[in-house]
Amino acid sequence: MHCAKSRRCAKTLGSVRMTNFHFLLNATMTQDELKQAVARAAIDYIVDGDIIGVGTGSTANFFIDELGKVKHRIKAAVASSEATAERLRGHGITVVDLNAVEAMAVYIDGADEITASGAMIKGGGAALTREKIVASVAQKFICIADGSKLVQVLGQFPLPVEVIPMARAVVARKLAALGGEARLRVRDGQPVLTDNGCEIIDVHGLRITDPRATESAINGIVGVVTVGLFAGRGADVALLGTADGVQTLVF
């Protein structure tokens, strides 16, 4: 179901409850309401007394707002971006440095695209490197997204690649050789800088049929910090907000 962000979906089914759905939803929900529904559903996955990894983006923000309501249940959070850290602190949640954390049960984050086998494109919010690092420490990656993010083949969403600024041109040439169109991400005429002081190249027009192979190939380009393909370590669970409810996929 594809709904424009602020528009209501045309189809009206009324509220439904099905065994694999956590919440009553209805088909007139906006994309933001679907994101809120999955954010609420993700609260079921927090482990009492543990440290939790928290992603970045609008869906992650809804999750942080829900987490704020049950903050007494967690010890602290590790943030995948400065923006997330600020929002967590705004809710009175303790944010700890990843270097002080040896393990955590779950990492909860959104995605730009996800396949039915749990491979994802991430980095629309330019936080891909820290997201991948924090996720690597967690036992489970819980992906939360509205159902429009579920795709058969990754690549319609431009693939973000974080690069060292001095390598932007050489990396762009190598990415173009893979068959895509590499475009530097700019805002107000200036390159977008990540929290790590690096730049983002978005690769348009790829059709990623073997996400693991593409992830390895791009990670192997000198000058690349991180590619926004999460395939080698994809999601373990996806909570997808659809017109019929929150659908849970376990990989």
Tell me, rounded to whole angstroms, the distance of Cα 191 from its chain centroid.
22
Quote the CA–CA distance of 45 and 237 in Å, as a whole number. 10
Name the residue nearer to ligand 5RP (CB basis): 75 or 148.
Answer: 148
Placement of tokens 């923000």 in the chain: 61
Structure tokens, 90: 């705004």
Closer CB to ligand 5RP, 146 or 244, in the complex: 146
Nearest CA-CA partner of 147 in 239, 50, 36: 239
The structure tokens 């431009």 sit at 158
Query: What single-letter amino acid sits at 102?
Result: E
Length of the chain: 251
CA 234/CA 116 separation, integer angstroms: 11
Residue 64 beta carbon to ligand 5RP: minimum distance, rounded to whole angstroms: 11
**Active-site option among 131, 162, 199, 215:** 131
CB of 130 to ligand 5RP, least distance (A): 9
Q: Which residue has the tokens 């041109």?
A: 169
The residue (of 75 and 248) whose beta carbon lies closer to ligand 5RP is 248
Q: How far is the CB of 120 from ligand 5RP (least distance, A)?
A: 8
Note whether 106 and 67 are within 8 A (CB): no
Cβ pair 108, 65 in contact under 8 A: no
For residue 158, the minimal CB distance to ligand 5RP (Å) is: 11
For helices 31-42 and 58-69, what crossing angle results, to 10°? 50
What DSSP string describes 163-210? E-GGGHHHHHHHHHHTTSEEEE-EETTEE-B-TTS-EEEEEES--BS-
Binding site for ligand 5RP (CB under 6 A): 55-59, 109-112, 122-128, 131
Based on the residue annotation, tell me whether 82 is a catalytic residue of this protein: no
Give the residue among 231, 226, 224, 228 at the shortest CA–CA distance from 173: 224
Nearer to ligand 5RP, 25 or 111 (CB): 111
Identify which of residues 124 and 245 has a Cβ nearer to ligand 5RP in the complex: 124
Shortest CB 51 distance to ligand 5RP, Å: 20
Give 57 or 245: the residue with its C-beta nearer to ligand 5RP. 57
Q: C-beta of 174: minimal distance to ligand 5RP in Å?
A: 22
CA 126 to CA 148: how far, in whole Å?
20
Q: Catalytic residue numbers?
A: 131
